Amino acid sequence: MSLSCILKHRIFPPPPSPFTLFIQRRWKKPTVSAQTRLEDRVRDPHLDKLMSHLKRLDLVLRIHHLMSARKRGPFVSLTLLSRWRNILGLHIPVGLFLRKYPHVFLVFVHPFRKNTCCRITKRMKELILLEGLVVKQQETEAVKRVKKLLMMSLNGTLRLHALRLFKRELGLPEDFRDSILGKYSADFRLVDLEVVALVDWDAELAVARVEEWREKEYSEKWLSEFETKFAFPVSFPTGFKFERGFKERLKNWQRLPYAKPYERKEVVRVRTCGGIERYEKRAVAVLHELLSLTVEKMVEVDQLAHFRRDFGVEVNVRELLLRHPAGFSKRW
């Protein structure tokens, strides 16, 4: 073979044969990432339906908030409401949305300006006022929730910005900075304008909600302490596909010890034996406890990211939830 042919084959190698391509595709290790887990997830139809209703309710409450902030009166013209579509995230015509919910919105013609306007119905206003009254009555429970959040944090402090984004899920009033944090000065201390600190540790509150489930499993189902001490409640949506070895890995993970959310004695080192698994299990425990403190036991995944640094959960929350499908119900 001439020198030119040798150089040609080295610079431009011949394409692989179809048999070689088939073998490479067959034995190629599949890529596992957050995107692939998201595509392979099993949807929960009941959770999907509930989230659709909650999104519509959230949209109604945002419209009511914008209407209430107007000085001219608790109503707004459809022309102005159309300009709020981008703010509200409304993807259908405003008039169509309002007429879909006549028990919430009352559409009328202004007596002087003769333009079409809308306002919240009397029944919906009564429900909103009733919700505010219930939140006021549950003030003591709200104080306990904030204290437990501060006790879970690494240094006993939280940013007010995270609590503002989380106030509805925690059952906090709109003015919680004054009505909760300022009122209960024996429990909370404002370090500066945007940071709240825990005054005193409460040992009675330093018990995770999952411990009640573990005690019930231990006493009623006669399971051993080895099986229940570090276990979590597990449920799978209909149609969930079990991979080979999944149940065995889950069984071992349930027995794996970890530093519980309110414990500070043990420091998990990621590079030690089982360190990554124990670190992730503690993150799962923190998210599980955080969800148990909410009123509806659910929260948007993006909101969890605001507590990552305060709780020492330095992992990708979305990836963590996809990697542990048994402990949480999810909708993306």
* E runs forming strands in 92-251: 105-109, 116-120, 157-159, 188-192, 195-198
Would the pLDDT of 208 be above 80?
A: yes
282-314 confidence digits (pLDDT tens): 888 999 999 999 988 888 888 888 888 888 887
62-118 confidence digits (pLDDT tens): 888 888 887 777 788 888 888 888 888 888 888 888 888 889 999 888 888 888 888
Contacts of 236 (CB under 8 A, 6+ apart): 42, 325, 326
C-beta separation of 240 from 42 below 8 A: yes
Would the pLDDT of 16 be above 50?
A: yes
> What pLDDT score was predicted for residue 278?
86
pTM: 0.77
d(CA 241, CA 259): 30
Q: How confident is the model at residue 332 (pLDDT cuts 50, 70, 90)?
A: very low
> What pLDDT score was predicted for residue 55?
85
Q: How confident is the model at residue 176 (pLDDT cuts 50, 70, 90)?
A: very high
Would the pLDDT of 34 be above 60?
A: no
Would the pLDDT of 145 be above 90?
A: yes
> What pLDDT score was predicted for residue 65?
85
Would the pLDDT of 38 be above 50?
A: no
Where is average pLDDT lowest: 28-37, 50-59, 61-70, 248-257?
A: 28-37
Residues of the chain with pLDDT > 70, as a percent, come to 80
> What pLDDT score was predicted for residue 130?
93
Residues of the chain with pLDDT > 90, as a percent, come to 21
- The residue ranking higher by pLDDT, 180 or 313, is 180
Q: What is the CATH number of domain 45-125?
A: 3.30.420
Would the pLDDT of 247 be above 50?
A: yes
- The residue ranking higher by pLDDT, 34 or 178, is 178
Within 10 Å of residue 153's Cβ, how many Cβ atoms?
A: 19
> What pLDDT score was predicted for residue 196?
93
| Residue 311 Cα distances to 171, 286, 291, 307, angstroms | 20, 8, 14, 6
Specify which residues 198 forms β-bridges with. 188
> What pLDDT score was predicted for residue 269?
52
Determine the length of the chain. Answer: 332
Average pLDDT for the chain: 80
Q: How confident is the model at residue 20 (pLDDT cuts 50, 70, 90)?
A: low
> What pLDDT score was predicted for residue 4?
57
> What pLDDT score was predicted for residue 328?
65
- As given in the structure block, the two tokens for residue 27 are 């034995």
> Which 8-state DSSP code applies to residue 69?
T
> What pLDDT score was predicted for residue 141?
94
| Residue 215 Cα distances to 166, 228, 229, 254, 297, angstroms | 30, 8, 9, 15, 20
> What pLDDT score was predicted for residue 39?
47
